[in-house]
């Protein structure tokens, strides 16, 4: 079985999203999908936004509003307020119409979408397609993430500060192989 769904996992700040950006830029790929933008300080974020992946690729990270904010807290001591509709509407929309894309980006899948069942269904639909997927999967266990990890068509790379350049080269090679099989 061809593993055309590639996910990166690892600690915060090791370079998972950077690897994705480098692969996209190196191969000049037409991509679709989503990335997550953050507000606040590393390890003490106070808001998360679902953004269209083209803004991720061209460095325009300004597409943040209350309409695409899926998690928010006033400070670190507060619980997260989660807006599942961002996943079930915007997230589903960003994973629709993938036919023209060379690669679908999912950066990142995590815990906030645990009850966003329309979004989960769309993610699985895309993973079932023949489109290559490159994404980040949070380094924790929950029913949604474990379902993805346990798929036979998923390959997961653990990224560390020490191996990130090697992981980049291997992922780049895999994406090139997947693209050549489509041509």
Q: pLDDT tens digits, the chain, 183 residues: what are they?
A: 678 999 999 998 899 999 999 999 999 889 999 999 989 887 788 999 999 987 655 555 557 888 999 999 987 778 899 999 999 999 999 999 899 999 999 999 999 999 999 999 999 999 999 999 999 999 999 999 999 999 999 999 999 999 999 999 999 999 999 888 876
Supply the pLDDT for residue 56: 56
Supply the pLDDT for residue 180: 83
Supply the pLDDT for residue 123: 98
Supply the pLDDT for residue 1: 61
Calpha distance 21→27 (Å, rounded) = 10
Supply the pLDDT for residue 78: 81
Two tokens, residue 55:
């803004």
Calpha distance 135→157 (Å, rounded) = 10
Calpha distance 85→38 (Å, rounded) = 18
Supply the pLDDT for residue 73: 92
Two tokens, residue 95:
């994973």
Q: What is the 3-state secondary structure (H, E, C) of 15-53?
A: CHHHHHHHHHHHHCCCEEEEEEEEEEECCEEEEEEEEEH
Calpha distance 136→9 (Å, rounded) = 6
List domains and CATH numbers for the chain.
5-35+84-182 (3.40.50.300)
DSSP-based three-state secondary structure for 60: coil
What is the pTM (predicted TM-score) of this model? Answer: 0.93
């Amino acid at each position: 079985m061809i593993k055309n769904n590639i996910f990166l996992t690892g600690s915060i700040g090791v370079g998972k999203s950077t690897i994705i950006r480098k692969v996209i830029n190196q191969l000049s790929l037409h991509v679709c999908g989503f990335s997550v933008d953050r507000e606040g300080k590393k390890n003490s974020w106070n808001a998360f936004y679902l953004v269209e992946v083209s803004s991720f690729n061209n460095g325009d990270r300004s597409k943040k509003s209350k309409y695409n904010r899926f998690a928010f807290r006033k400070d670190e001591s507060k619980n997260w307020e989660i807006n599942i509709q961002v996943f079930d509407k915007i997230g589903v929309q960003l994973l629709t119409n993938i036919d023209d894309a060379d690669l679908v980006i999912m950066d990142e899948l995590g815990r906030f979408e645990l009850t966003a069942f329309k979004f989960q269904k769309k993610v699985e639909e895309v993973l079932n397609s023949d489109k290559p997927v490159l994404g980040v999967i949070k380094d924790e266990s929950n029913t949604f993430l474990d379902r993805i990890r346990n798929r036979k068509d998923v390959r997961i790379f653990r990224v560390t500060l020490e191996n990130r350049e090697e992981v980049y080269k291997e992922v780049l090679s895999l994406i090139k192989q997947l693209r050549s099989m489509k041509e």
